[in-house]
Structure 1
Amino acid sequence: MTIAKHLKGSNLQQLQKRPFFFDIKKMVPAILLASLIGTYLDLFFVGIGMYSFPKRFLPDVFSINIVFTLIGLPLFVVFFLFMMNRINVWKKAGFIIVISLLMACAEKLAEEIGFFIHKDSWKHWFSFCGYIIFLICVYLFNRISFLSDSRKK
């Protein structure tokens, strides 16, 4: 293996090394926010009867699917933020729209499997619009916390 070194007398600026992996510690505040928002929205909508989770972990204790809000949603947010940090502004907008559409479709599939039941008055474009707002909020919160963290250094 050959390693190229910077020539001592060179006027060229050294290229900064960009790590292959990402720093998940910087995403923790956004992941926690996403889990809290997801949990409270589920509690609210289950409480008013807009939807329910017939198949869930510890059904006698929890009225919501805590596996999704505590494991699935944080993993999804890590993937989402990882991708958002690697694409330009226009692709970010398209990515948010596509992900929101896929999540609304996933809800429809979860209904067919029996993991999720919506009230008859529920429209899946509610989910689509909700996910757009949710993802924008999580991304902006991550950017703001990342910028404030970098200013402290």
Structure 2
Amino acid sequence: MNIVKRSKKWNLRLSRKKPFSVKSKTIAAYILTALFASWIGTYLDLYFVGNEWYSFPLRPYSAIFTINIVFTLIGLPILTAFFLYFMGKLNIWKKGVFIIIVSLVMTLVEKQSEAFGWFNHHDQWEHSYSFFGYCFFMIIVWKFFRWVNSIMN
């Protein structure tokens, strides 16, 4: 007669990994929002360049693209990820101040890039348009990120 002892290992609960953790959902929300920002930035650039409000004299593949694809496909998603990270750390009042400060900085960067010859605006362009455009863009990107995050969690 054989007596079989039950293994102590069988008494341990097997922990199931969640298929999509909260951290994975947050990373996915960052990626989706960066793609969304890139998509919006690309179409805004195409619209404004097409209507001759501004142009990119120095850009890669200038024979093919009228916009600077390096910025819209690489720079903008990276900057969006940093923006989302810092926005997540701030309270509501600081978020508003942060958006205003970043919009001012981007407007100044835009003016500096004109001095370097990377960017040209139409003679009638006012840089206040850029400031309000950046504010509006960042608010939309932040709202999109929060919406995606709420769906995924």
1:130 aligned residue: 133
The correspondence for 1:57, drawn from 55, 60, 66, is 60
Q: Could you tell me which residue of structure 2 aligns to residue 144 of structure 1?
A: 147
Instruction: Determine which of 49, 59, 64 is the counterpart of 1:46.
Output: 49
- TM-score w.r.t. structure 2 length? 0.82
Q: Is 1:85 aligned to residue 88 of structure 2? A: yes
Structure 1 segments (4+ residues) deviating >6 Å: none
Per-residue CA distance 1:96-146 (angstroms, 9 max, x = gap) = 000001001100000000000000000001000000000000000000110
Which segments of 5 or more consecutive residues in structure 1 lack a partner in the other structure? Answer: 1-18
Count of matched residue positions in the alignment of Structure 1 and Structure 2: 130
Once the two structures are TM-superposed, the CA of residue 28 in structure 1 deviates from its matched residue by: 1.3
DSSP-derived class of the 1:44 partner: helix
CA distance in 2, matches of 1:111, 1:105: 10
Structure 1 residue 23: Cα displacement? 4.4
Q: Which of 32, 36, 41 does residue 33 from structure 1 map onto? A: 36
The equivalent of 1:76 in structure 2 is 79
**Which consecutive residues of structure 2, in runs of 5 or more, have no partner in the other structure?**
1-22
Deviation, structure 1 residue 24: 2.8
The equivalent position to 1:121 in structure 2, one of 120, 124, 133, is: 124
CA displacement at 1:26 relative to structure 2: 2.2
Which residue number in structure 2 is paired with residue 14 of structure 1?
A: none
Higher RCO (C-alpha 8 Å, min separation 6): 2
- The two structures, once aligned, show a CA RMSD in angstroms of 1.3
Please tell me whether Structure 1 or Structure 2 has the larger radius of gyration of its CA atoms.
Answer: 2
Structure 1-normalised TM-score? 0.82
Amino acid at match of 1:140: K
